[in-house]
A and B are shown apart, each in its own frame.
Chain A
Amino acid sequence: MTLELRNISKQVGGVCHIKPTTLLLKPGHFNVLLGETGSGKTSLIKLMAGLDPVAGGKILMDGADITALSTQKRNISLVHQFFVNYPHMTVFDNIASPLKLAGISGSELQGRVEEAADILQIRPLLARRPQELSGGQQQRTALARAIVKQSKAVFLDEPLANLDFKLREELREQLPVLFAGRGAVVVYATSEPEEALLLGGETALISDGRVSQFGPTSELYHRPHDFTSANVFSDPPINAAQITKNGTTAHLNPETSWELSGDAAALRDGIYQVAVRPNHVAPVKTQTACVPLTGTVLVTELSGSDSSAHFSIGKDVWVSLAHGVHSYEIGAVHPFYLDPTKCFYFAADGQRVA
């Protein structure tokens, strides 16, 4: 079971929404589409699901061309960001609906619905109607409908976006377990980098209707090909600035410079862009985070176990993200420390060079 996209593209009124995209999506793990709202994740899913016509290219399922096949004939499931259930049916009938369409009835129907309900822990709710359920339960119902069908491909379009924070955490853990061993190609769209990392599998980074990089999720995180990919895969946004390379030294500004090593040291002298993730800019000096930066604190944030600070160096705004609770005074000059071993370097065309 594979889903292959060969140069598929989408145009609306002469405007290109999806640039020619080639992807080979495999079962057994999550295929994450990561990108900001409006980057083209949903458009791409609609193309794969057959809800929108492609402007060019082919879609193959298990090697067979399904480009011309209608959505109904593709044997797929789709779960939306908004909880889509039939309001006049009970949860049982909602889950059973794809099976009934497939002509399954009686004890087999009963058994399969109950099995799906068990997996999603909604068995006690089978007799209720969707409007009597909480958001999380409604989305579980929609998910149960998607798995009961045993379709060849399942598309999850930001399915957790409208759920409570903690509920999102719980369901996110259960999802991979849910689809494990089903043999279906699972495509999961999200705008949150951390969600992509937690789900693992393979990720396609999308921005402006283009897949900038595709591969194993953690590989992408640690080794982005270009600046776009590095930036899509960072929340808060990645810190970026211009440096001048001279010999084996990188100069950020007259006060700040650091020694380069490895590939970076071998680059030709000149101007490059440096990018470093907020978690590699620390509020206290450590063994690795050792290059001092002096910034004026603009804003601080605290999330559970992490603190972040936005600070300015000249015209640039930098972000530092660290474990634990750190207190900063807004407007104060505070030292931060950059980890030079975690920096990415990009050439003028945005390609990563080191």
Chain B
Amino acid sequence: MARITLSQLRHSYLPNPKGPDDYVLKDIDLDWHDGGAYALLGPSGCGKSTLLNIISGLLAPSEGRILFDGKDVTDLPPEQRNIAQVFQFPVIYDTMTVYNNLAFPLRNRGVDEAVVKDRVTKIAEMLDVTEMLQKPAAGLSPDNKQKISMGRGLVRDDVNVVMFDEPLTVIDPHLKWTLRSKLKELHQKVRATMIYVTHDQTEALTFADQVVVMEDGQIVQIGTPVELFERPTHTFVGHFIGSPGMNILPCNVQNGQALFEGHTVVLEGPIEAGTVDQGAGLTQIGIRPEFITFGATGVPATVRKVADIGRHSVVDTVVGETLIKVIVEGAAPVQGAATHLRFDPSKTRLYRDGWIATQALEAAE
């Protein structure tokens, strides 16, 4: 297992990149600790798969270095990096049995057959595939095939990092959660450094201790699942994580106060000094649907639509031209009703040009 450092990584698929638009990865700096569970989360085309391929060595970066435990591996081919990768579609050696599939990476490295047997048996047990070890791998169901591809990565004890590239894509929704939980469990048992690439927030937040959110070739936030949900440092993170995502409301800043549709909105803390009081840049208020309640006072709003999604209702309200989503458990106001919205001040933040511009109270004190 290893610590992984990415230093000033940039990549372009063009031979002579000119502007920043030609780069799919724009200056990535990261430090991942040994034995951690990490996720790279972002929409398709954000560069997360490119980054993964650069770490695994399938792709050479245009600029920057990759270090495993401080050792520069930028120029090493994948087979010399001691990594394991699980792909979107299960990769199975069709002509082999499950046992031979799992043994394959070990045998390729000339590992003693007794050791192979020991490792394969152990991994098979962890994956609950012991009873199918002697079966041909070709006939397995997609979820079992994907388990075997995972197993091939985990069977080696010399891997620096195990990488997962949207591994649950082909898995039936009803089986996804079992595999998701299996992975988490595996990480806790094996304690290998694992990197999980996905566009699905549930998969990322469930799996990882720390999530790297990417957009357009850049890292927008690195944080624990709780941090990403509670205090997104960029509007993109607020929008991307949570379902529905954070409400992002246009606002003006006057005398250190945020004004939304003429109403003063109380924020979590003071607007960061130096960056604001003059109206430079685009300012927005970010508040999650979970942190808005209906009340007799507050910002007046009209209810446009109520969707009962079983566990709770998602209420679409309109203030002026702006749509604000509110999540309520229990009784929801009826469509067309006039109501007032109250924002939880400790969860209401100001963003300038996308980035957070309020100080949390703890920090201000």
Contacts and interface: CB of A to CB of B under 8 A. Distances in A.
Interface of A: 36-37, 134-135, 164-167, 169, 191-194, 197-198, 200, 218, 221-222, 235-237, 277, 279, 298-305, 310, 321, 323, 325, 330
B229 A325 contact: yes
Given A235-B174, A279-B311, A305-B243, A298 B229 contact: no
Interface centre among A194, A305, A321 (most CB of B within 10 A): A305
18 contacts: A36-B173, A134-B45, A135-B44, A165-B199, A165-B201, A166-B239, A197-B307, A197-B310, A235-B173, A235-B174, A277-B311, A301-B202, A301-B206, A302-B205, A303-B206, A304-B201, A304-B243, A305-B290
Contacts of A300: 184, 206
A59 to B, nearest CB: 29
B225 A325 contact: yes
Contacts of A192: 173
A299 B290 CA distance: 25
Interface string B291-335: 000000000000000011111101000000000000001000000
Contacts of B290: 305, 323
Nearest to B200: A165
A323 B329 contact: yes
Nearest to A192: B173
Contacts of A303: 201-202, 205-206, 243
Given A166-B239, A325-B225, A301 B172 contact: no
Size class of the B contact interface (CB-based, 8 Å): 35 or more
Given A304-B243, A310-B181, A218 B308 contact: yes
Contacts of B312: 323
Given A165-B201, A166-B240, A323-B290, A301 B177 contact: yes
A190 to B, nearest CB: 9
B43 interface: yes
Prevailing SS type, chain A contact patch: mixed
**Which 3 A-B residue pairs are closest in the complex by CB-CB distance?**
A303-B202, A299-B181, A197-B309
Interface of B: 43-45, 172-174, 177, 180-181, 184-185, 188, 199-202, 205-206, 225-226, 229-230, 239-245, 288, 290, 307-312, 314, 329
B293 to A, nearest CB: 13
Contact of A169 (B173, B244, B309, B329): B244
B44 A36 contact: no
Contacts of B311: 277, 279, 321
A37 B181 contact: no
Contacts of B185: 299, 330
Contacts of A198: 307, 309, 314
B172 A37 contact: yes
A43 B245 CA distance: 35
A236 B175 CA distance: 10
Given A198-B309, A301-B202, 7 more contacts: A165-B201, A192-B173, A198-B314, A301-B177, A301-B180, A305-B229, A323-B290
B275 to A, nearest CB: 28
Interface centre among A166, A191, A192 (most CB of B within 10 A): A166
A325 B329 CA distance: 16
Contacts of B314: 198
A166 B174 contact: no
A193 B308 CA distance: 12
A235 B174 CA distance: 8
B242 A304 contact: yes
A13 B173 CA distance: 29
B206 A164 contact: no
A167 B43 contact: yes
Nearest to B44: A164
A36 B225 contact: no
Given A164-B199, A325-B229, A305 B172 contact: no
A323 B180 CA distance: 19
Contacts of A310: 181
A132 to B, nearest CB: 13
Given A191-B174, A304-B229, A330 B188 contact: yes
A305 B288 contact: yes
A28 to B, nearest CB: 16
B181 A301 contact: yes
B44 to A, nearest CB: 5
A221 B307 CA distance: 13
B44 A218 contact: no
A218 B200 contact: no
Nearest to A236: B177
Nearest to B288: A305
Interface centre among B184, B245, B288, B310 (most CB of A within 10 A): B310
Contact of A304 (B172, B174, B184, B202): B202
Interface centre among B177, B185, B225 (most CB of A within 10 A): B177
A135 B45 CA distance: 11
Interface centre among B180, B205, B242 (most CB of A within 10 A): B205
A310 B230 CA distance: 24
A166 B200 CA distance: 8
Given A36-B172, A135-B44, A301-B202, A169 B226 contact: no
A134 B239 CA distance: 20
Contacts of A194: 309-310
Contacts of A305: 229, 242-243, 288, 290
Contact of B307 (A200, A298, A301): A200
Nearest to B43: A164
A166 B288 contact: no
Nearest to A221: B310
A302 B230 CA distance: 13
A193 to B, nearest CB: 7
Contacts of A193: 310
